[in-house]
Amino acid sequence: MTTPITLVAAGSALPGDAPAPATLRKVDHRGGLPSPSVDALGAKFGTAVKRVDVVWGETTVVVDGGRLQEIVRWLHDDPSQRYEYLSDLTAVEFRDSEQPLEVVWHLRSIAFRRFLRLKVLLPRGTPLEVQSVWPIYKGADWLERECYDMFGIRFAGHPDLRRILMWEQYKEGFPLRKDFPLRGRFSRAEQLRQALAANPEARYSMEELSIADAFEDLPQEMRARLRSGEKTGE
């Protein structure tokens, strides 16, 4: 039996006439060439593309949050774009409390060796909600959960949006928001009191306890407590 493992000298799917990739040097702060995908996006989606910035050689496209999923799906599926890889998904809150929150997607087209940053602005006073890209990239699952956990941004269409790094009973809010103090919202004494008062049994979520008989095996009192929803962190 043979287990093949091949050694590849360079990326295979590069179009024939494209220049070989090279280390970026002396990148301009602003005013570099935008990604070739920008024109295609503008032609396809028109006004849904709100702004295009090129900073340090990277193209940022600010798009309409209402059409985000449609745009990402097109970028993913269209044979001339093929952004098949979601590098990262995160959010930015500025120190200036007037500036909108930004949700940021970093997409890669491995076939064309392109990189694109998509942004949706969430102005102050509007609900912090954007469309989920989970139906397109399964890798967005934990990234969106983390973004929700840290910023409180809800992703509509995510199948299981709950806290991931903080525990489900966490009540102090969303740690990466600028109004969240570095040391946490509660005093050390209060944090300790809550930690000691936590029910160790509640470490299983309802979903886990519903597995087969495990839930039925619990004492009546604990079942009632878990049914009353002793899990959400909001």
What φ, ψ does residue 44 adopt, rounded to 5°? -85, -40
Task: Find the angle CA(66)-CA(72)-CA(78) to the nearest 5 degrees.
Answer: 135
- Per residue in 74-107, is it b (16+ CB within 10 Å) or e — as a string? bbbeeeebbbeebeebbbebeeeeeebbbbebbb
Part in contact with other proteins (CB under 8 A); list of ranges 120-128, 158-166, 190-198, 226-234:
158-166
Stretch 45-64 residues interacting with other proteins (CB under 8 A): 55-56, 58, 60
Part in contact with other proteins (CB under 8 A); list of ranges 41-49, 82-90, 124-132, 222-230:
82-90
Is the Cβ–Cβ distance between 108 and 37 less than 8 Å?
no
Part in contact with other proteins (CB under 8 A); list of ranges 39-47, 67-75, 133-141, 189-197:
133-141
Q: Is 6 in the site for other proteins (CB under 8 A)?
A: yes
**Residue 83, token pair as written in the block:** 């952004």
Q: Where are the alpha helices (DSSP H) in 113-172?
A: 140-151
The contact mask relative to other proteins for 168-187 (x = CB under 8 A, - = no) is -------xx---x-x-----
Q: Write out the residues near other proteins by the rule CB under 8 A.
A: 1-12, 20-27, 29-30, 55-56, 58, 60, 84-88, 90, 92-96, 104, 106, 110, 113, 115, 117, 137-143, 146, 150, 163-167, 175-176, 180, 182, 204-205, 207-209, 211-214
